[in-house]
Structure 1
Amino acid sequence: MSSFQHSPVVPQELMAEILSRLTVKDLMRFRCVSTWLNHLVFDPTFVKLHLQRSSKNTHILLTFRDYENDESRYCAAPCSLQNLLHNPTSTVDVCHRFNHDYTILGVCNGLVCLQDSYRGDEFEEYWVRFWNPSTRVMCEDSPHIRIRSGDYNYPYLFMFGFGYDDWSDRYQVVFLDNKSQKLEIRVYSLGDSCWRNTLTCDAFPALGLHGAYACGHLNWLALPKCGSGYRWANVTMKDLEIFCYDLKNEKCRYLCMPDGLSEVPPDVPVLEVLKGCLCLSHHQGTCFVVWMMKEFGVAKSWTLLLNVSYEHLRIRHPHGLPALPVILCLSEDDNVMLLASYDTAEFILYNKKDNRIDDREFFNDDKFYFFSYDYVHSLVFPYRN
């Protein structure tokens, strides 16, 4: 009599639990092993489970525009936080260069929102599509938005933003149709057949075209108390606010600026997101200053993250203040940060705890508009199952 016994069968629930801890690259390879594995990778419940298991705040999506062969294209490079901090130039060298002139609107849960457009003599059309760099899957175009170019005069502009509503589990693109009198907000959710109107409120002079996504909200710098004839040199602190759109409740409100921002900077500040927190970068005298809102929507949680002189950073401009540097990432303990300076065309690794420059690396000056997004390798697919 044979002593051979069949190995016990692993329950599918346990198998899914084990597989949820693997990398996206491995899971995509395993799809060809069996029909069950192929279906599992596309299953929405498994996709969410894998996303929950994925490490947070350890990866960055670095984006920039690259001028090559007389044309400019956006590039994107998913990378680990440590690689970007210590090898920024080599990270740039292995980026993905789009073969089409997309604009990157934002990144959520590993899903990248790309914007495309057509500009005619009287009309302009805009649409979006979604792309997952980890799975290399890109969806088809969304429905188009058509606008009449003559309806928009500076500083009243139309704006876009990309975010995620975890309550409805929907990835949404928000279009702010900001004309001279009223602001109409339209939303397109991944998988929808049209853009839908959600809200109308008073228009405002816009200070940024792309919204910064944090904690279920999209945010733009705004001047709600200024009219169409404003000049930045005449703006006061009480005029400057953050327009905030709530994706879940489809409502808007204004957030206050940091109390420590005593005077309006000579140039428009930059609103971005680092480690899930809203950040504000600006000139203050001859210093580069960055504020971080530690608790979203709470004015008292604004914290001074950085205040360093341009002389110490060795960033100079022959005719005055340098262009505002860009913070690309923070170390896990927030003590070390990587900056990109356009005036000197270099990456600067600054240790704010010890107030010293740890490293400097030059980049090719045909690369510009560096930006970074919190990134996670995920299985989120750019279409609805």
Structure 2
Amino acid sequence: MDICPIKNQCQSNPPFTPVLIPDELIVEILSFLSVKTIARFKCVNKSWNTLISNPTFTEMHLKKSSQNPHFILTSTRNHPVKHVVSLPVHCLLENVSVTIAGDTCHNSKEESWQVVGSCNGLLCLLFDSIFGIHTKYFFCLWNPATRTMSDELGLFLDYESLLGPFKFSFGCDYLTGTYKVVALNTESNEEKETETEGLWRSKVRVFSLGDFCWREIQSFPLVPLIGNDGVHLSGTVNWLAIHGDYVGLSDGETVQASIPHVQQFVIASLDLSTETYNRLLLPKDFNEVPCVEPSLRVLMDCLCFSHDFKRTEFVIWLMKEFGVQESWTQLFRFEYVNLQMQNIPIKDDWDLLGYMTCDTPLLPLYLSKNGDTLILTNDKDKRVIIYNRRDKRVERIGISNKISWFSAIDYIESLVSTHWKSGDIEEEGDEEGDEEEEEEAHSL
């Protein structure tokens, strides 16, 4: 029987048909990636570079990135700030072992600076130096994720005899998308309009990245507590403050501080769109002056108010509807012993303005979406405290002796640009420039 030869059955592969992925799907996929990875993909081709550089994509990525919050940590009070640490919150919640390294603002000529706020992935860095007998201020906007930095902005000289240094805050007018820096200080309230106003008032200046100039806006007869900086939330800057006459003058020379009444504690809220103020009331059950300063934070996109109670308990409130006193909800009330804290150092000293001069024992930093896990910090302990409400488990995590958890700022990575340029800052040593600086400062 004849056997037919076997024919070669191998056939050539069918021609490759490229799969076309819609641009909308590419955008969606890229928006979930980290800034570092996205920056690499900009080199794929011109089309991807254009797509990633589009402001619409920047906004989409920002919304996705907000689901992965970070903390920005800086040096302790005894060390100058030369770099920051960006730490993902999930690393703490999941007890993930990470290598912490500080990042430097590479474009800065200054040796040290202060982070005064974070918004949409931008850090506002404040620089100050002695200029003759005055203080020279300016700031820069830095995006640690993209490692880009703006020019020096907002230069002004403090010529006035005000009490204490300026307080700076950073936020965004969400109606126009304009970023603003707020400078606040305290001065004598010689033009009291009502008898209920105090002897001091807060003087406020606003620098807008829309018109690039400082403007003095209406002052308000409230004095922010010395340990509380402005808290940015939904286009507003909020300070915990005291109103009314709580400081008296004796013999025309000696200033005697008096402890304020609990009803004098309020929240001063500045709307960055209208640049007008509102006075927000604290919880009705806050009926006793604490022996240490209360604090304001933002938790779960709501204003958070926390305070000590009789040196034994710590209380945390959440304003679920901004501006509505009845929406204050008590989230936590626990004894310090539940956090394994003992011998809390608390003083009862008051300074010349009636400020409580001791440190707040605890500061809430983050609350999980289910409300069970709370991250706090204790300035004396130099570590972060993770408290689980369900099983009352307490964990403590530290980074280094030169990093302060008490300076932690909420932060999210973003692609937001730092393209702003001043164009009107004269170099130091230029006599004409110095004269212009003085005229500008006097005009403020």
TM-score bucket (shorter structure): 0.7 to 0.9
Corresponding residue of 1:226: 245
What number of residue pairs does the alignment pair up? 375
For 2:51 and 2:134, how far apart are their aligned partners in 1?
44
Corresponding residue of 1:370: 406
Is the contact made by 1:179 and 1:203 (CA closer than 8 Å) also made in structure 2?
A: no
Letter in 2 for 1:241: V
3-state SS, counterpart of residue 145 of structure 1: strand
Corresponding residue of 1:344: 381
Cα 1:225–1:369 shift into 2, 3 Å = farther
Is the contact made by 1:24 and 1:377 (CA closer than 8 Å) also made in structure 2?
A: yes
CA deviations over 1:15-58 (Å, ceiling 9, x no partner): 444433433222111122223333333322221122233342x3
3-state SS, counterpart of residue 114 of structure 1: strand
Give the structure, 1 or 2, with the largest relative contact order (CA under 8 Å, sep 6 or more): 1
CA deviations over 1:143-198 (Å, ceiling 9, x no partner): 312112x51125xx63221111221011211122442236443222336432233x
Deviation of the 1:232 alpha carbon: 6.6
Corresponding residue of 2:340: 314
For 2:26 and 2:402, how far apart are their aligned partners in 1?
48
For 2:234 and 2:207, how far apart are their aligned partners in 1?
19
For 1:384 and 1:121, how far apart are their aligned partners in 2?
29
For 1:41 and 1:344, how far apart are their aligned partners in 2?
43
Corresponding residue of 1:274: 299
Is the contact made by 2:297 and 2:365 (CA closer than 8 Å) also made in structure 1?
A: no
Structure 2 unmatched runs, 5+: 1-13, 190-200, 249-254, 348-358, 422-444
3-state SS, counterpart of residue 179 of structure 1: strand
State yes or no: 1:168 paired with 2:204: no
Letter in 2 for 1:266: C
Corresponding residue of 2:264: 239
State yes or no: 1:63 paired with 2:73: yes
Q: 1:108 aligns with which of 119, 126, 129?
A: 119
Give the TM-score normalised by the residue count of structure 1.
0.85
Corresponding residue of 2:212: 193
Is the contact made by 2:87 and 2:100 (CA closer than 8 Å) also made in structure 1?
A: no
State yes or no: 1:359 paired with 2:395: yes
Deviation of the 1:246 alpha carbon: 0.4
Corresponding residue of 1:83: 91
Cα 1:167–1:295 shift into 2, 3 Å = same
3-state SS, counterpart of residue 312 of structure 1: helix
Is the contact made by 1:75 and 1:96 (CA closer than 8 Å) also made in structure 2?
A: yes
For 2:85 and 2:171, how far apart are their aligned partners in 1?
20
Corresponding residue of 1:264: 289
For 1:298 and 1:336, how far apart are their aligned partners in 2?
26
For 2:28 and 2:363, how far apart are their aligned partners in 1?
40
CA deviations over 1:200-228 (Å, ceiling 9, x no partner): 13343231462101121100111121355
Corresponding residue of 1:146: 157
Is the contact made by 2:321 and 2:327 (CA closer than 8 Å) also made in structure 1?
A: yes
For 2:361 and 2:156, how far apart are their aligned partners in 1?
32
Is the contact made by 1:73 and 1:101 (CA closer than 8 Å) also made in structure 2?
A: yes
Q: 1:25 aligns with which of 12, 36, 44?
A: 36
Is the contact made by 1:85 and 1:337 (CA closer than 8 Å) also made in structure 2?
A: no
Deviation of the 1:267 alpha carbon: 1.6
Letter in 2 for 1:264: V
State yes or no: 1:335 paired with 2:372: yes
Cα 1:237–1:215 shift into 2, 3 Å = same
Is the contact made by 2:75 and 2:403 (CA closer than 8 Å) also made in structure 1?
A: yes
3-state SS, counterpart of residue 188 of structure 2: coil
Letter in 1 for 2:313: C
CA deviations over 1:278-328 (Å, ceiling 9, x no partner): 112221111122212122111111111222222232223375578512223
State yes or no: 1:47 paired with 2:83: no
Aligned-pair identity (%): 31
For 1:116 and 1:369, how far apart are their aligned partners in 2?
21
Is the contact made by 1:180 and 1:203 (CA closer than 8 Å) also made in structure 2?
A: no
For 2:214 and 2:378, how far apart are their aligned partners in 1?
38
Give the alignment of 1:100-139 within 5 angstroms. Answer: 100-120=111-131, 122-139=133-150
Give the TM-score normalised by the residue count of structure 2.
0.75
